[in-house]
Amino acid sequence: MSGGYSGGYSGGYSGGYSGGYSGGYSGGYSGGYSGGYSGGYSGGYSGASPELLASALTNTRAALVGLPVPLTTAPSLPPVDAVQALARSRAAARVGTVSFEMLAGLHFEHHGHALALVFQGPGAAPVEVVRLSRPGPDTFRGQLDLVAHYAELRDDRGGEILAQVNGALDFMAPILGLNTERHKHTLELLGAALGLANLVEMRLKLGFDVPRPVQLSPQIQPLLPTPGHASWPSGHATESYLMAALLSHLLPSDGVRDVQLKRLAARVAVNRTVAGLHYPVDSAAGRLLGTSLAEFVRARSGVGAVFHARHFDGSQYPPAEDFDPRLPLDGAGAPAYHLRATSAHSLAASAWLGRIWQLAAAEWV
């Protein structure tokens, strides 16, 4: 049973997610999770083939049920759109519902050299979630020397880089004791949030269309095949910081654990530069984007405080500046390219997101 469950989950998750979110992640996650679990359970429990089991069940029913027995009263139906249905549903239905709720009300707006992700709740004014302004060409030219120098770390970090191709979740699990049996709702929440991040970052990558380092210099020679989409912002940085921020808020407060999650997110981001796939500025933008998306998910779940939009102003990023995860995203000491709106907004909460957050949080009590 556990072999079918965990094998199906991990195989479906990693294979599906790397194959692409819409066609792979939801299909791989739900197919691997439910297929691996039910297949492992029924196969391990009964030991019968599907054909033999179907035949046996048909014969058993014929021997047991007798004549039809009509219902004496109409069935009692639950209220429409009641979030309690989440706990009774299969994993694919939960992930699909939560994913839809995260995407609802979002659209992009184009402002000069910037793209902004905007949320508009029912009957409410639009609220900017996050804005990214693309750095100029001199910035990316100036970053190439940094990318080339980072290649010296490939012998040391090559194993990590290869293991992190499909993301950082396997590396975050040991920090938290995260596992599929005890934390299924946490994984479902993270899965939906990663799906949101993947769609947002891909839209931004295509919109900004920044060439990869290898497209600008033959000196880079990446450790891995370069993905067939644009460079800025970094998807690995976005998703790693998104997960780190969500988990830090979801779990009971623990300073040591929070620090390790942030360190891991930074290491995953830097590893993509070591591999020759990203500029340091890609990671800097991904850090802000992932943090903003985590704050958005919390606000829409009804558990966050008022929401403040963030802006990464790439025009202010010095060409020779490395990615420094120690720099604050706002407040005293924040660099000129990290901006945070002073006006606060209350975002319309989704009852469905609130419910999956409650179910996930209860797994850590």
Asked if 229 and 204 count as a contact pair (C-beta separation under 8 A), the reply is no
Q: Is the per-residue pLDDT at 191 higher than 60?
A: yes
Could you report the per-residue pLDDT of 242-299, keeping only the tens digit for each?
Answer: 999 999 999 887 889 999 999 999 999 999 999 999 999 999 999 999 999 999 999 9
248 sits in which H/E element: helix 235-250
Phi–psi pair at 127, nearest 5 degrees: -125, 125
Question: Is 187 exposed, middle or buried, given 0-12, 13-18 or 19+ CB atoms closer than 10 A?
Answer: buried
pLDDT of residue 48: 81
Which of the 8 DSSP states describes residue 313? Answer: E
Q: What is the mean pLDDT of the chain?
A: 89
Q: Over range 113-134, report the average pLDDT.
A: 96
Could you report the per-residue pLDDT of 284-299, keeping only the tens digit for each?
Answer: 999 999 999 999 999 9
Q: Report how far Cα 230 is from the mean position of its chain's Cα atoms.
A: 19
CA nearest neighbour of 185 among 49, 343, 29, 361: 361
Give the three-state DSSP class for 331.
coil
Could you report the per-residue pLDDT of 138-160, keeping only the tens digit for each?
Answer: 999 999 999 999 999 999 999 99
Q: Report how far Cα 174 is from the mean position of its chain's Cα atoms.
A: 18
Q: Is the per-residue pLDDT at 9 higher than 90?
A: no
Q: How many residues does the chain have?
A: 365
pLDDT of residue 281: 98
Q: Is the per-residue pLDDT at 25 higher than 70?
A: no
Q: Over range 32-55, report the average pLDDT.
A: 62
Helix (H), strand (E), coil (C) string for 134-170:
CCCHHHHHHHHHHHHHHHHHHHHHHHHHHHCCCCCHH
pLDDT of residue 46: 57
Which has more pLDDT, 266 or 39? 266
- For residue 344, the one-letter residue type is A
Asked if 195 and 238 count as a contact pair (C-beta separation under 8 A), the reply is no
pLDDT of residue 275: 98
pLDDT of residue 306: 81
Q: Give the whole-angstrom CA distance, residue 39 versus residue 281.
A: 45
pTM confidence score: 0.86
* Total Cβ atoms within 10 A of residue 196: 22
Could you report the per-residue pLDDT of 319-337, keeping only the tens digit for each?
Answer: 999 999 999 999 999 999 9
Helix (H), strand (E), coil (C) string for 129-140:
EEEEECCCHHHH
Phi–psi pair at 234, nearest 5 degrees: -75, 125
CA nearest neighbour of 321 among 308, 338, 298: 338
pLDDT of residue 74: 92
